[in-house]
């Protein structure tokens, strides 16, 4: 079933320009989700640790004395591993990884923007 048939079957009436815009937006969003998943998969442990740190920071004032002691002990252990130099290197690697993931997305998005037909949009592949 083509995209046009899908619109017709759902009683959605749009002209050719609107169809092209809809297909471009759908494909761009699909590529964006692929990029986010790829970046997350490549950096899942960093992302999980970051989420944990943010959540602990938010809840820290409400923790009991014993819980604060436990968190402080873990943070001191992490500080021994993640020295400022390691953090800077990790941040640099993370940004490089993000740029690597996004370069393909920006290339695909540029191709989508220059596409003039639905077929051209559908032929754009995110690599």
Count of alpha carbons within 13 Å of 24, Cβ hemisphere only?
Answer: 16
What's the pTM value of the predicted model, to 2 decimals?
A: 0.45
Q: Output the pLDDT for position 5.
A: 60
Task: Extract the residue ranges of the chain whose pLDDT is less than 50.
Answer: none
- 59 sits in which H/E element: helix 44-59
Model pLDDT for residues 69-103, shown as the tens digit of each residue:
998 998 888 888 878 898 898 889 888 888 887 88
Specify burial of residue 107 (Cβ count, 10 A radius: 0-12, 13-18, 19+).
middle
Q: Output the pLDDT for position 67.
A: 93
124's tokens: 């754009």
């Amino acid at each position: 079933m083509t995209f046009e048939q899908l619109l017709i079957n759902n009683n959605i009436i749009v002209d050719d320009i609107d169809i092209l815009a809809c297909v471009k937006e759908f494909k761009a969003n699909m590529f964006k989700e692929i990029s986010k998943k790829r970046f997350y998969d490549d950096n899942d442990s960093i992302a999980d640790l970051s989420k944990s740190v943010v959540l602990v920071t938010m809840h820290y004032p409400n923790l009991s004395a014993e819980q604060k002691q436990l968190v402080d002990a873990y943070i001191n252990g992490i500080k021994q591993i993640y020295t400022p130099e390691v953090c800077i290197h990790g941040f640099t690697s993370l940004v490089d990884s993000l740029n690597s993931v996004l370069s393909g997305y920006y290339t695909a998005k540029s191709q989508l923007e220059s596409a003039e037909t639905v077929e051209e949009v559908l032929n754009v592949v995110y690599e």
